Amino acid sequence: MSVLIVGSTALDSIKTPTAENPRLLGGSASHAAVAASFFGPVKLVGVVGKDFPRRYIRLYKRHRIDLEGLQMLPGKTFHWSGEYELNMNNRRTLVTELGVFETFNPTLPEACRNAPFVLLANIAPALQHQVLNQMRRPRFVAADTMDLWLKVAMPDLLKLLKCLDAFVLNDSEAQQLTGEDNVFPALKKIHKLGPRYVVIKKGSHGSILSGPRGLFLCPAYPLRKVVDPTGAGDSFVGGMMGYLAAAKGPIDGHIRRAMTYGSVVASFCCEGFGLQRTTKISRAQIDGRVKELERLTRF
């Protein structure tokens, strides 16, 4: 089954202590869509400007990502620039140029409205909601978010949460949202806001699912070297939703494995700048790391 992914489609200029990479393909939807594409058909909903490089359109197409929902408007593509510190955990935003994103008004082509799986990747919750409202009868809806929306768009986010099956956020955002230091009471509070499935991402420490069948502690793949963590969270949720959409049967029977797959795609994402590594891997390499994670966690 296909997964519809809406989010940002951006050009990212990423600085680390050892390298500088201007205008890489980035944005939450780009990372999530490429991650999901390893498992089945993906439809991308987003907006780019006239300056969007043709090679990035070709990249999407190589991953068989359906671009009917990608608008191209007069103006500039959303541009984000950030700098990582040596330990790769702290990052600083240098530039945010919204460009055509400022007036983005997602209108879904007819063919997109029937997608059974919907991933509302990180953009303003009002836009996520606008996309969701255009869907017919999705089977499973998940959303990601970021600290910014908890600060400036909390009412929109709270409205959205009531309409989700799954909500994915990182540990510091969970604390920001609930006031709870400990992730387990935080998970409980987030369930009360709507979603039956809540996933808290903890970066290199893995992630935690709380769902109808209880908790799942999902491992992170051990990475000896992190080149650029930008988009790792988007890759995680994209891989998870791609795997779920491709799996047959009930969500509960697949979501743990889906998270593990998301975690592995995210590990590849961290091994290159932007999407440079993720776009070079194969499904077999992903399967290999999932098998390795099974061996690394068995006791």
What are 79's strand-pairing partners? 11, 97
Window contacting a second copy (CB under 8 A); options: 42-50, 215-223, 240-248, 264-272: 215-223
The reply to whether 61 sits near a second copy by the rule CB under 8 A is no
Per CB under 8 A, the list member of 158, 215, 283, 287 interacting with a second copy is 215
Smallest separation, CB 286 to a second copy (Å): 14
The reply to whether 256 sits near a second copy by the rule CB under 8 A is yes
Max CA-CA distance within the chain? Answer: 57
Site string for a second copy, 11-50 (x = CB under 8 A): ----------------------------------------
Residue closest to 24 by CA, chosen among 227, 255, 239: 227
- Residue number, 133 or 184, with CB nearest to a second copy: 184
Window contacting a second copy (CB under 8 A); options: 36-44, 66-74, 101-109, 224-232: 224-232
Per CB under 8 A, the list member of 64, 139, 205, 283 interacting with a second copy is 205
The percent of the chain in helix, strand and coil, each rounded to the nearest 5, is: 40, 25, 35
Provide the 8-state DSSP code for 154: H
3-state DSSP assignment of residue 70:
strand
Identify the H or E element spanning 260: helix 255-270
Can you tell me the distance from the alpha carbon of 32 to that of 89, in angstroms, rounded to the nearest whole number?
Answer: 20
Pairing relation of β-strands 91-97 and 79-84?
A: antiparallel
Can you tell me the distance from the alpha carbon of 10 to that of 7, in angstroms, rounded to the nearest whole number?
Answer: 10
Structure tokens that stand for 159 in this block: 């409205």
Smallest separation, CB 260 to a second copy (Å): 5
The reply to whether 189 sits near a second copy by the rule CB under 8 A is no
Query: Do 221 and 213 contact (CB within 8 A), yes or no?
Result: no
Smallest separation, CB 52 to a second copy (Å): 35
The reply to whether 168 sits near a second copy by the rule CB under 8 A is no
Can you tell me the distance from the alpha carbon of 256 to that of 267, in angstroms, rounded to the nearest whole number?
Answer: 17
Can you tell me the distance from the alpha carbon of 177 to that of 192, in angstroms, rounded to the nearest whole number?
Answer: 12
- Residue number, 100 or 186, with CB nearest to a second copy: 186
Structure tokens that stand for 160 in this block: 């959205």
The reply to whether 185 sits near a second copy by the rule CB under 8 A is yes
Pairing relation of β-strands 197-201 and 166-170?
A: parallel
- Residue number, 99 or 203, with CB nearest to a second copy: 203
Site string for a second copy, 136-155 (x = CB under 8 A): --------------------
Site string for a second copy, 83-122 (x = CB under 8 A): ---xxx----------------------------------
Q: What residues make contact with a second copy under the rule CB under 8 A? A: 86-88, 181-182, 184-185, 202, 205-206, 208, 214-219, 222-226, 256-257, 259-260, 294-299
